[in-house]
Structure 1
Amino acid sequence: MLRSAEPEAMDFIAAFNDPQAAAQYAEGPRRFVPGYEALHRMTAILLAEGSPANARVLVLGAGGGLELRALAEAHPTWSFVGIDPAREMLKEAERVLGSLMDRVTLVEGYIDDAPSGPFDAAACLLTLHFLEPAERAATVRAIHQRLKHGAPFVAAHGSFPQAKDERPRWLDRYESYAVASGADREQAQKARTAVGAHLPTLSPEQDADILRVGGFSDVALFFAAFTWRGWVARA
């Protein structure tokens, strides 16, 4: 995400800056994202492919700290720079990371506020779907510019078929999964409405193309769960 984010994206950032929402954030992904913890474990495995033992890793959209904690626990010799524009989410990340913070630097801001690197690996989980296509492509390019040649990059976010006869069906499944996972039905309905009306969701094919245009090669789908997709690629 760049500092010039679209108004819709800024609205979502404002929501994440609510202290109560930040404190309760961890419950959301577990109810709305199938295989959320497994996604973190897979990300840790994929980022390790070709990375040195002392890898320095860039994590964009790091607020909340859940993926940072998973990666830091999986790789005790790695260090991290986590970027997020929501101050309250970064405060929550500090709380979640606890003693692991000695290997983490948190930066309040956007990808253009991140150090130039070069980093050994990067991840961006549950973030890019907030961005319009042009903004998403610019963010991917900015991540690529901060990586060493051949460094692994993992991106995972909302991405599902966008054809008129398919999109509503997938949104229904998004809502139904959340309810089946313990989310309040009214909350799940509101989330479905918000995603359908405000998130600039792309198809998996469009998202993979953005990675390629952004400079990444060997783009491969590794995660698909209802309305969510994840890719691994090389800088």
Structure 2
Amino acid sequence: MHRSDNIFSKPIAHVGDFRFDQQVVEVFPDMIQRSVPGYATILEVIGQLTAQYHQANSRLYDLGCSLGAATLAMRRNVRLGGCEIIGVDNSQPMIERCRSHLAAFRSDTPVTLQCTNLQDVQISRASVVVLNFTLQFIDPKERDQLIAAIYQGMLPGSILIVSEKVHFGDTDIQSLINDLHLDFKRANGYSELEISQKRTAIENVLLTDTAEQHIERFKTAGFAHAQAWFQCFNFLSFVAIKGSSDD
């Protein structure tokens, strides 16, 4: 049973940068459900897209796997032989908890977990790659290169799924949608103190792009098709499809 997220419920004299440590691991499922609108829908569709796009004898990557929610969504939908899932996260506590979650679900599809930075992962023979609210924590200067490297390691006809918090160029729209997201958090029981302290903790860690920047990055990397398929407030999920070899 996961604990309720009360990390920021009491005043903190000095709010440090947010980290995916053991304290966060213990409350992460509650934290993300109460903070990210549409999260369950995104996971469900990751499973659907896996069923549609995975290829026999290929690799599926969950980059920034945290506790393994997307990994499990992919694993449940692998139907073809010779597939392997690789989950990567640079938080050892996340990897350890992910391993225990995976052990609770039987499957013929092997999963390998790696505790390392995404930039150090060599992508190869990939048919499905997922970054589910991960890229936003990567240094903005390294994002183009990371997506380009992922593209190079993907098979023709494969799919990249990237979910992200974004910001908007129109300041009035940004203010409106930000207010809607704050109301979402309040409706899920977060106090003004929790909202304020969490914002302080994450403002130098989670650095957002615009939707247009994401689409342009996919196209620059070489993806034949790229589009946001989901949006709720300032949370989007994109798909980018690599063209067939004869495109």
User: In which range does the TM-score fall when normalised by the shorter chain?
Assistant: 0.7 to 0.9
Per-residue deviation, 1:109: 0.7
Per-residue deviation, 1:56: 2.3
Per-residue deviation, 1:194: 4.5
User: Sequence identity, in percent?
Assistant: 24
With over 3 angstroms needed to count, the CA separation of the structure-2 counterparts of 1:190 and 1:227, relative to structure 1, is farther
**Is 2:51–2:79's contact at 8 Å kept on the other side of the alignment?**
no
Per-residue deviation, 1:45: 1.6
**Is 1:72–1:79's contact at 8 Å kept on the other side of the alignment?**
no
Match of 1:136 in 2: 143
Provide the secondary structure at the position in 1 that maps to 2:155.
coil
With over 3 angstroms needed to count, the CA separation of the structure-2 counterparts of 1:20 and 1:52, relative to structure 1, is same
Is structure 2 residue 62 aligned with structure 1 residue 59? yes
Is structure 2 residue 47 aligned with structure 1 residue 44? yes
1:72 to 72, 75, 83: 75
Match of 2:26 in 1: 23
2:101 to 77, 86, 96: 96
**Which aligned segments of 4 or more residues in structure 1 are displaced greater than 6 angstroms?**
none
Amino acid across the alignment from 1:34: P
Per-residue deviation, 1:180: 1.1
Map residues 216-231 of structure 1 onto 2, 5 A cutoff. Answer: 216-231=223-238
Match of 2:159 in 1: 152
Q: Decide which moves more: 90-99 or 73-82.
A: 73-82
Q: Which entry has the higher C-alpha Rg, 1 or 2?
A: 2
Query: Which structure is higher in helix share?
Result: 1
Query: Following the alignment from structure 1 to structure 2, what is the Cα–Cα distance between the partners of residues 182 and 73?
Result: 32
Q: CA RMSD in A?
A: 2.3
Amino acid across the alignment from 2:28: Y
Per-residue CA distance 1:180-199 (angstroms, 9 max, x = gap) = 12334422233344455553
Provide the secondary structure at the position in 1 that maps to 2:236.
strand
With over 3 angstroms needed to count, the CA separation of the structure-2 counterparts of 1:162 and 1:88, relative to structure 1, is farther
Provide the secondary structure at the position in 2 that maps to 1:75.
coil
Per-residue CA distance 1:134-182 (angstroms, 9 max, x = gap) = 2111111121122112211110010131433333333322222122123
With over 3 angstroms needed to count, the CA separation of the structure-2 counterparts of 1:44 and 1:197, relative to structure 1, is same
Is structure 2 residue 35 aligned with structure 1 residue 32? yes
Amino acid across the alignment from 2:193: E
Is structure 2 residue 126 aligned with structure 1 residue 119? yes
Match of 1:187 in 2: 194
Query: Following the alignment from structure 1 to structure 2, what is the Cα–Cα distance between the partners of residues 132 and 172?
Result: 26
Q: TM-score, normalised by structure 2?
A: 0.80
Unmatched 5+ residue regions in structure 2?
A: 1-16, 243-247
**Is 1:219–1:234's contact at 8 Å kept on the other side of the alignment?**
yes
Query: Following the alignment from structure 2 to structure 1, what is the Cα–Cα distance between the partners of residues 192 and 69?
Result: 25
Query: Following the alignment from structure 1 to structure 2, what is the Cα–Cα distance between the partners of residues 167 and 215?
Result: 30
**Is 1:122–1:153's contact at 8 Å kept on the other side of the alignment?**
yes
**Is 1:43–1:154's contact at 8 Å kept on the other side of the alignment?**
yes
Per-residue deviation, 1:212: 1.4
**Is 1:47–1:153's contact at 8 Å kept on the other side of the alignment?**
no
Match of 1:6 in 2: none
